[in-house]
Every structure is written in structure tokens, then in C-alpha cells.
């Protein structure tokens, strides 16, 4: 399975991996493949407050701009600044290229997200037409 089962997923193609009250967030393999060569990421600063479902940054490939939506609410504790200078890391391994680390406001929010199996089904339908 290309989508790790310990991650949760959004229909906007973000993943989130929670460990207790902390979580890391990135975009999925499907998202990076759809975008193509990623050349720019715009991420929030440490301390920023994210609200579930709201835009918290953006990622741009050569051909497209895509907003990033927060899979959960919380406070940004860490930002993967390596992606700023080497955004191609997202193409190379999207599920390892985490963008921000959050302190979750309510870990229960993750229950509303897709499981790996559900997400895989969702993208196979989205990509299939």
C-alpha cells in the first residue's frame, strides 16, 4: 500500500500523522504526481495558528499553484525549512517530506479524516475519469 496506514488523509490531498497531541502534515504522493515538478512552497511560521479546513500555505509546481488546507487545527511548532530550498524533496518522497509539525488543538478532529484505504479508493475514482 503506497499510503501509510498510520496517516489520515483529506480530500484535498494532505496527509497527517499524529503522535499523541503532536502531528506532522504533508501532501500525498497523488498530489505531488498531479502537480508535477514542485518548485516552490509557502509555509506558515512557527507559532502560527491553523484552523481545520482553512488554507495554511501553498505549493507550486512549474505549471500550477495549489493551496494547502489544514487537516486539523493547532499551533505550528516546527517548519520543515529544508523544503524551502529543495522543494523537489516533495516529488521524491511526499510521505516523508513533512511540511509542518503541529500541536493539535483537538486530536479528535482526525476521526473525520479518510483512512489510507478510503483515500486510496477516493483517488482511484478521482484519477479514473
Partner 1 sequence: MTTAEAAAVRKTALNAVHRQMGAKMVEFNGWDMPVEYPSSGGIIAEHNAVRTGVGIFDVSHMGDIRLTGPQALDAVQHISMNDAARLAIGQAQYSAMLYPQGTFVDDVIVHRLGEDDYLLVINAGTREKDFDWVRNNTRQFDCRVESLSDDFTQIAVQGPKAASLVQKLTDVDLSAVKFYWFTHGSLCGLKNILLARTGYTAEDGFELYVPSDAATSARIWNEILQAGKEFGAVACGLGSRNTLRLEGRLPLYGHEISDTINVWEAGLDRFCKMEKPQFIGRTALEEARAKGLLRTLIGLEMMERGIARDGYKVQDEGGREIGYVTSGSYAPFLKKNIALAYVPPQFAALGSHIKVEIRNQGVNAVVVPTPFYKRQKKN
What is the binding site for partner 1 (CB under 8 A)?
33, 36-37, 39-40, 42, 58, 60-63, 65, 84
Greatest CA span in the chain, whole angstroms? Answer: 41
Q: What is the smallest separation between the CB atom of 91 and partner 1, expressed in angstroms?
A: 8
When the beta carbons of 62 and 112 are compared against partner 1, the nearer one is: 62
CB atoms within 10 A of CB 68: 26
When the beta carbons of 21 and 40 are compared against partner 1, the nearer one is: 40
Residues 6, 13: Cα–Cα separation, whole Å: 16
Q: What is the smallest separation between the CB atom of 107 and partner 1, expressed in angstroms?
A: 30
When the beta carbons of 45 and 63 are compared against partner 1, the nearer one is: 63
The string of DSSP letters for 78-127 reads: EE-THHHH-THHHHH-TTT---EEEEES-GGGGGGSBPHHHHHHHHHHHH
Q: What is the smallest separation between the CB atom of 96 and partner 1, expressed in angstroms?
A: 19
Amino acid at each position: 500500500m503506497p499510503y501509510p496506514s498510520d496517516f489520515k488523509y483529506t480530500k484535498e490531498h494532505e496527509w497527517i500523522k499524529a503522535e499523541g497531541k503532536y502531528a506532522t502534515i504533508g501532501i500525498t504522493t497523488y498530489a505531488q504526481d498531479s502537480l508535477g515538478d514542485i518548485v516552490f512552497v509557502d509555509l506558515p511560521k512557527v507559532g502560527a495558528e491553523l484552523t481545520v479546513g482553512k488554507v495554511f500555505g501553498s505549493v507550486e509546481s512549474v505549471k500550477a499553484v495549489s493551496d494547502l488546507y489544514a487537516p486539523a487545527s493547532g499551533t505550528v511548532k516546527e517548519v520543515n525549512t529544508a523544503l524551502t530550498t529543495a522543494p523537489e524533496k516533495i516529488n521524491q518522497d511526499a510521505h516523508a517530506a513533512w511540511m509542518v509539525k503541529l500541536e493539535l488543538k483537538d486530536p479528535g478532529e482526525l476521526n473525520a479524516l479518510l483512512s489510507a484505504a478510503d483515500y486510496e479508493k477516493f483517488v482511484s475514482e478521482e484519477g479514473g475519469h
